Structure 1
Amino acid sequence: MENNVRLLVLFGSQTYTAQEIAERIWRDTKVLGFKGPVLAMDDYPISNLIYEKLVLFVCSTTGDGDEPDNMKTFWKFLLRKNLPSNSLINLKYAVVGLGDSSYAKFNFAAKKLQKRLSQLGGTPLHETALCDYQHDLGHNGVLSSWLKNFYTKLKLCSTNVTPEITETKFVPRWKVSLNKRGIDDVDDFNEDIYFSNGNTAHFVNPLHLEIEKNKRITDESHFQDVRLITFKTINDKLKFDPGDTLNIRPRNSTADIKDLFDIFETHNLDIKAHYILNFEECHEDMPVPNFLKQPLSVYMIAEQYWDLKAYPTQYVFALLALVSEDKLEREKCIELSSPEGQEEWLNYCRRPRRTILEVLRDFHKSTSKLTIDVLFELFSTIKPRSFSIASSCVPAEGEKLDLLVAVVEYSTKIKKPRLGLCSNWMKHLDVGRRLYGWINKGVFKFPEPNVPLILIGPGTGLAPFRSLIQDRIARGVAGNIHLFFGCRYKEKDFLCRREIEKWETDGHVVVYCAFSRDQEEKVYVQHKISEHRNTLRDLILSGAHIYVSGNSKNMPDNVRDSFIENVLCDLEDGKGFVKNMVQTGRYQTETW
C-alpha cells in the first residue's frame, strides 16, 4: 500500500557517492510506500522548502570543510540573514554526512547543514549520521544501522500501516531495453558519453584537453611508476590557482571490458557490445539523466559508466540473492548481504579488493539469471578522480597543466595484482589523446608571499607545492619557503629532482629531503622535522603556515606528532598550539 506522505531526498556530492546513497535510500523508502524525488540540492527550487514536511539530506564534505559544488547555491540561500527563525517550522529532517576522519574538518558540511536547519525551525527526525570512509566497512559502518533506525522513525510519519523492509526488493530506477539492431563497429562509439551532444550538466566549466606528455619519472628499476602528465587545452584558456585540482573520469581497460562480455557470453546472456540501450522513466520522481537520453551502445556503458574494478557492496549480494535460483549461492548471498555477515563480506570483498567481475565469476549460477535492468543496479558508476595540479598557470600562459600520478598496483591474497582504475588508464594515455576534465578549488588556501611557509609533501604530495613554488617564481615573489620532501631512494624516486635542486640553488626554497631506504635506519619526513626543530620553531612562532600533503595512512599523524612533541615541546601546550593553528588555517592538510 502506498503512503500519502512525500519524502524529499536531496544530495550534495562531489564524487557522486552521496547521489548513489540517496538513490539507495529512495529505493528502500519506495518499498515502504513513500514517494518523492531525489535531486541534487542545487536542482531543487529551495523556495519550496518551507512547504516540505519530510526531507532527507545526504551530503559529502569537500575541500577544507566546504560544501560540494552542487550544494553551493542551496547553502548560500540557507545562510541568508533575513530568513525568519521559524522558516522551516513544519519540516522534519535527517542528515547523512559522508566524510573522512583523516581530515581535521570531518563531515563539516553535514554538521553545518544540520545546525542551520535547526536554527530555521526544523525538527530533526533522527540524529545526524556521520559516516567515515576510514571505517573498515566504509560509509556503511555507520550508515547500515542508522538507516534501520531512520526507517523505523520514518514509518511513524506515515498515514498508513506499511510493511517492514525484511528483504531487499528490486526497484529499478529506469526501464532499460536493448535494441538488437545496433551497429557492429563499436569504435564508432568512442565519444565521451558525459560531454557529447552538449551534455555538460553538473560540470562547471568543462575543459577539452589533449595529452602533450606522459612520462615516467621514477627509475625503471623502481617498483613505483610515477607519471608526469602534461595536458594542453584545445580551445579554452586555463585558469587555476596553486592547490586547485583537475577532475577526470577514467574508463575501464580493454581487458576488463572483454572479461565482462566473456561473462555475458559464458552464461548465454543476450547482451552484446553493439546493442543499443534505450532508457525510459519508471517513476516520475527518478528521471533519466540527460546523458542517457541518447543512443548508447552496451560497449560504451561498459567502458565509461559501469565501474568494473569496484568491489561489491553488501547491496550487490542482496540483488544477486533476489535473482538467484541456486539454493547454495542464494543462501551465501543472503549471508554476505546481512548485518551478521559483515565480517565475512569484509574478508571476501573489501580486504582482498575482490572486484565485481570476480564476484560474478564466483557466483556463476546467479550471474546467469541477471537482466539488463538488474545490471544497472548491480554495477556502481565510475566516479571522477581528483588530482592536485602540479604546475603553475602562469608560465604556460594558461594553456597547459601538469599532474603527478602514482600508478596504483598492489597485491592481496588474490593471485592477480590489484590495479587502480584511473591511474592505470592514465598510464596508457598516448600523446595526442583527447579527453574532458574540469577544475575545482583545492583544499589549500595559501597566504600572501611575505608569510613563511613550511611545506611537507612526500611522494606525489609534492604536486600542490610544485604548483605554488612555480607560481611564485614566475611572479617574482618566491622565498621564505621550506620544503620537506620524502621518498625511498635518492636515485630512483626523487620526483622532479633537477627542478627542486635548482630551486634550492637559486635561493627560492630551502629543501629538506628524507630518503627512507638509502641507509639501514629508515628516515622519514617527520625525522627531518625533528632534526631541524629549532629552525622550524622560530618560523612557527614568527607566523609561518604549515601545509601537509600526501598519503593519509600514517604520515599526517606522524608529522603532526613531530611538530607537537619535538618542535613545540617547550611550549606550555604544544598540542593546543597546533590545534589553534588548524582552527585558524595556519596548519592545513590534504591527504588521500
Structure 2
Amino acid sequence: MTSNNGNKNFSALTEQQMQLLSSTASSLSKEQLIWASGFLAGLAGSVSALPIPSSAQSVQNIATQATLTILYGSQTGNSKGVANSYKASALEKGFNCNLVSMSDYKPRQLKNETHLVVIVSTHGEGDAPDDAVELYEFLASKKAPKLPNLKFAVVGLGDTSYEFFCQTGKDFESRLLALGAKPIVERLDCDVDYEASVAAWAESLNAKLKDELVPVVSSQTASLNPAASAVSQSLYSKKKPFSATLNESLKITGRDSVKDIRHIEISLEDSGIAYQPGDALGVWFNNDEALVKRILAATSTKADDKVSLAGTQLSLMEALVSKLELTLSYPGFVKSYQAATEHAELGNLLSDKAALREYLSISQIVDIVEKYPAKIDAQSLVEALRPITPRLYSIASSQAEVEDEVHLTVAHIEYEINGQVNQGGASGFLSTRLQEGEKVNVYVENNDNFRLPADPNTPIIMIGPGTGIAPFRAFMQERDALEAEGKNWLFFGNPNFTQDFLYQTEWQGYLKSGLLSKISLAFSRDQAEKVYVQDRLRENGKEVFAWLEQGAHIYICGDAMRMAKDVETTLLALVAEHGNQSAAEAKQYVTNLRKSKRYQKDVY
C-alpha cells in the first residue's frame, strides 16, 4: 500500500494495533486526547502545524484554574453512565473535570474541593450503593470537615416504585448543606426514565458554572476528539442495542418445582460485543398483547386510537406493546390516572401512602385499571404511564467458553390474581413469548463493582441462592479457561434438591475436577426446619474466616432486601467470633474488605 505522501513503507494499522489504540483512546479525557494527538504528531515531525498547546502549557493552564470534581456512586452502572455523560457535556464547555468513583475517592479530599457534582443511586430500603458507603458514612461522622468554600450539585437516581425514592441523593445533599457547602442548582431526583431530565439539568448547571470555571482549551481544539467519538459510536448501548437472536430457552427446574427458572442462550454473532464475568445484559422487551387488550377494555380505549409519544405519532396498541411500562406499578401512575378519571375510590387509596405502597407491591398496571375501571382518553392514558425500561440480568457465561454467545439465568414470573394470569415483563417475554430464532434487543452493562480478583491464585467465596448463581457460573467458566489455581467455594440455596439444584451436573463436574474446592448447599424445604445460605455460612464460620485471612474475595448475588442483609449480618458475626473481635472491630474488618474490593455484591 502506498500513502499519499509516496512513502511506500507506510501500512495501515493491524487489527490488533487498532484495538489497542481504540481501547486506550476510550479511557482518555478530552484534554488527554488533545495532548496525545500533539504528542503523536510530534513524533511524526509535524507538531508545529497543529493548533494544539504544548503539554507544558496545558498542564500550566489546568493547574491554575478551579477543577470540577464529579463523584459517582453506582450499584448497577446507571450513575456511572450519567456521570460520564455529564463529564462529556462539561468538557464541551472546556471545564477542567475530574471524574472519580466514590470507592476510589479519599473523603478528606473534600476540604480541598471548590466545585463538586455528586451522582448517586439508591437501592434497597434507602441504602447507598456499595462504592459510596465509605464517603456516605464519612459525611455523617464527626470527622467530616466544614465546607464553606464548596459549591455542589446532586443528582439522585432511583425508582418511584420504592418507598425511599432517591434517598441517598437526598442524604448527600443534606449532609453537604450541614457542613456549610452551597448548592449551585436544585437537586435532581431521577426516576427510571431520566435521560431528558439529566440533559436539562446538565445544561442548567453548565450555564451556572461558565463564569466560575475558565475553559481549559478553545472551542476549536475542544472539538478535536475523533478517536473518542469513533470508539463511542462503535459500541452498542442502552440507546443503541444490538439485535441479537434467541438460541435457546430451557426450563432448568423440575416439573414439581415451585419455581420456573430458565436457562437462556442468546447469540451475539457479528456484534463484536465483549463482556466480562460480573457484567449484566440489558434486555429490551415487548409487553404481552393479551395484557394490552385487558387494559384497553378496562379503560374504554381502542387499539387504533392515535397517540403522541416523544413527538412521534403511533397507535395506542403499538405504544402499549413496545413503548410503555405495564408490569411495574408506581405511585405516579395512580396519581395521574386518578386525576384524569376522577375515580373517587382510587382517590381514597392515594390518601393512604402505606396502603398504596402495599397495594402496588402486588399489583401490575392492568390490575389497577381492572379494579378501578374508568373511561379515559388514549393520550391521557399514555401520559400517565412511564416509558418501558430494559431489565438487567447478571450474565451466566464467560466468553472464554461460549465465545459469541451470552447466557442468562431467568426466573419466569407468573402468578394468578383475580382469576387472571400475570407475567413479568421481560421474564415472560424471554421465557414464553419470544421463540427460538427470533430477535431481541440487548446491550452489555459493565459492572466494575463485581469482578474476579486480578490474581488467578486468589481464593474466592461465592454466595448466590436461586438465580443469584448466574454470575458464579461465569466466574467458574472463566477460571476454568484460565486454569486459575485459586480455591473456589460456592454457597447455593433453593427450595428442593431434586427440583431446584440449578446447573447441578456442571457444579458436580467442577467439584470432581477440583476446580471447585467446596460447595455448601441449603435447600430450605428438604427438612422440617428451613435452612438458608446464611445458616451454612454460620456453620462454616471458622473456615470462612480462615479463607478471608488467606486473602479470599467474597461475593454475594441475589435478593437485596432479605438475603444479602442476612448474609452480611452473619458475616459480621462470624468475623467477630472467629477473629476474636468486638462488633465495632468486625464492622471495620468488613469495611476494609469492601474498600479493598474483596467484598462485592450484585444485588437487586
TM range, smaller chain: 0.5 to 0.7
1:419 aligns with 2:423: yes
With over 3 angstroms needed to count, the CA separation of the structure-2 counterparts of 1:462 and 1:424, relative to structure 1, is same
1:531 counterpart residue number:
539
With over 3 angstroms needed to count, the CA separation of the structure-2 counterparts of 1:80 and 1:301, relative to structure 1, is closer
2:466 counterpart residue number:
459
User: Residue 225 of structure 1 contacts residue 406 of structure 1 at CA under 8 Å; is this kept in 2?
Assistant: yes
Structure 2 residue runs of 5 or longer lacking an equivalent are 1-64, 89-95, 101-110, 140-145, 174-183, 186-196, 198-232
1:222 aligns with 2:253: no
1:342 aligns with 2:346: no
Query: Structure 1, residues 499-544: CA drift from partner, whole Å, max 9, x if none?
Result: 1000000010122222222222322222222333332222111111
**C-alpha separation in 2, matches of 1:102 and 1:322:** 29
User: Residue 161 of structure 2 contacts residue 330 of structure 2 at CA under 8 Å; is this kept in 1?
Assistant: no
**C-alpha separation in 2, matches of 1:87 and 1:143:** 19
With over 3 angstroms needed to count, the CA separation of the structure-2 counterparts of 1:233 and 1:119, relative to structure 1, is farther
**C-alpha separation in 2, matches of 1:509 and 1:86:** 47
2:336 counterpart residue number:
319
Instruction: Give the 3-state SS of the residue equivalent to 1:394 in structure 2.
Output: helix
Shift of 1:358: 2.9
**C-alpha separation in 1, matches of 2:72 and 2:346:** 30
2:441 counterpart residue number:
436
1:79 aligns with 2:87: no
1:363 aligns with 2:372: yes
With over 3 angstroms needed to count, the CA separation of the structure-2 counterparts of 1:359 and 1:393, relative to structure 1, is same
1:399 counterpart residue number:
404
**C-alpha separation in 2, matches of 1:508 and 1:199:** 37
With over 3 angstroms needed to count, the CA separation of the structure-2 counterparts of 1:234 and 1:403, relative to structure 1, is same
Query: Structure 1, residues 350-396: CA drift from partner, whole Å, max 9, x if none?
Result: 24x223233223333xx31x233322221122211000110111123
Shift of 1:408: 1.7
Shift of 1:239: 0.9
Structure 1 residue runs of 5 or longer lacking an equivalent are 1-49, 51-56, 148-156, 159-172, 174-197, 280-287
2:163 counterpart residue number:
137
Shift of 1:208: 2.0
Aligned residues: 451
1:69 aligns with 2:81: yes
Query: Structure 1, residues 11-40: CA drift from partner, whole Å, max 9, x if none?
Result: xxxxxxxxxxxxxxxxxxxxxxxxxxxxxx
User: Residue 83 of structure 2 contacts residue 119 of structure 2 at CA under 8 Å; is this kept in 1?
Assistant: no
**C-alpha separation in 1, matches of 2:565 and 2:248:** 35
- Of residues 378, 385, 396 in structure 2, which corresponds to 1:379? 385
Shift of 1:110: 13
Instruction: Give the 3-state SS of the residue equivalent to 2:500 in structure 1.
Output: coil
1:541 aligns with 2:565: no
Instruction: Give the 3-state SS of the residue equivalent to 1:430 in structure 2.
Output: coil
**C-alpha separation in 2, matches of 1:323 and 1:276:** 18
Code of the residue aligned with 2:98 in structure 1: it is L
- Of residues 483, 490, 506 in structure 1, which corresponds to 2:513? 506
Alignment of 1:134-533 (within 5 A): 137-139=163-165, 203=238, 206-264=241-299, 267=300, 269=301, 271-273=302-304, 277-278=307-308, 288=310, 293=312, 296-313=314-331, 315-324=332-341, 329-330=343-344, 332-338=345-351, 341-347=352-358, 349-351=359-361, 353-364=362-373, 367-368=374-375, 370-396=376-402, 398-410=403-415, 416=420, 418-428=422-432, 429-442=434-447, 443-447=449-453, 448-510=455-517, 511-533=519-541
Which piece of structure 1 moves more, 463-472 or 66-75?
66-75
Shift of 1:119: 7.8
With over 3 angstroms needed to count, the CA separation of the structure-2 counterparts of 1:207 and 1:296, relative to structure 1, is same
Shift of 1:276: 5.3
**C-alpha separation in 2, matches of 1:217 and 1:80:** 43
**C-alpha separation in 2, matches of 1:411 and 1:120:** 57
**C-alpha separation in 2, matches of 1:406 and 1:258:** 25
**C-alpha separation in 1, matches of 2:122 and 2:363:** 23
With over 3 angstroms needed to count, the CA separation of the structure-2 counterparts of 1:137 and 1:416, relative to structure 1, is farther
More helix by share: 2
Shift of 1:135: 9.3
Q: What is the CA RMSD across the aligned residues, in angstroms?
A: 4.3
Code of the residue aligned with 2:303 in structure 1: it is K
Query: Structure 1, residues 271-324: CA drift from partner, whole Å, max 9, x if none?
Result: 433x55556xxxxxxxx4xxx64x6433221111122223241x3343344434
With over 3 angstroms needed to count, the CA separation of the structure-2 counterparts of 1:119 and 1:576, relative to structure 1, is closer
With over 3 angstroms needed to count, the CA separation of the structure-2 counterparts of 1:549 and 1:95, relative to structure 1, is closer
With over 3 angstroms needed to count, the CA separation of the structure-2 counterparts of 1:531 and 1:98, relative to structure 1, is closer
> Structure 2-normalised TM-score?
0.65
User: Residue 103 of structure 1 contacts residue 589 of structure 1 at CA under 8 Å; is this kept in 2?
Assistant: no
With over 3 angstroms needed to count, the CA separation of the structure-2 counterparts of 1:342 and 1:214, relative to structure 1, is same
Instruction: Give the 3-state SS of the residue equivalent to 1:395 in structure 2.
Output: helix
Code of the residue aligned with 1:263 in structure 2: it is A
**C-alpha separation in 1, matches of 2:484 and 2:121:** 40
Shift of 1:563: 2.6
- Of residues 85, 95, 100 in structure 1, which corresponds to 2:124? 100
With over 3 angstroms needed to count, the CA separation of the structure-2 counterparts of 1:299 and 1:120, relative to structure 1, is farther
**C-alpha separation in 1, matches of 2:84 and 2:147:** 19
With over 3 angstroms needed to count, the CA separation of the structure-2 counterparts of 1:489 and 1:363, relative to structure 1, is closer
Q: Percent identity between the aligned chains? A: 22
Code of the residue aligned with 2:265 in structure 1: it is T
**C-alpha separation in 2, matches of 1:430 and 1:584:** 44
Shift of 1:475: 2.2
Which piece of structure 1 moves more, 540-549 or 252-261?
252-261
> Structure 1-normalised TM-score?
0.66
**C-alpha separation in 2, matches of 1:431 and 1:139:** 38
Shift of 1:451: 0.8
Code of the residue aligned with 1:434 in structure 2: it is K
Code of the residue aligned with 2:165 in structure 1: it is H
**C-alpha separation in 1, matches of 2:168 and 2:74:** 19
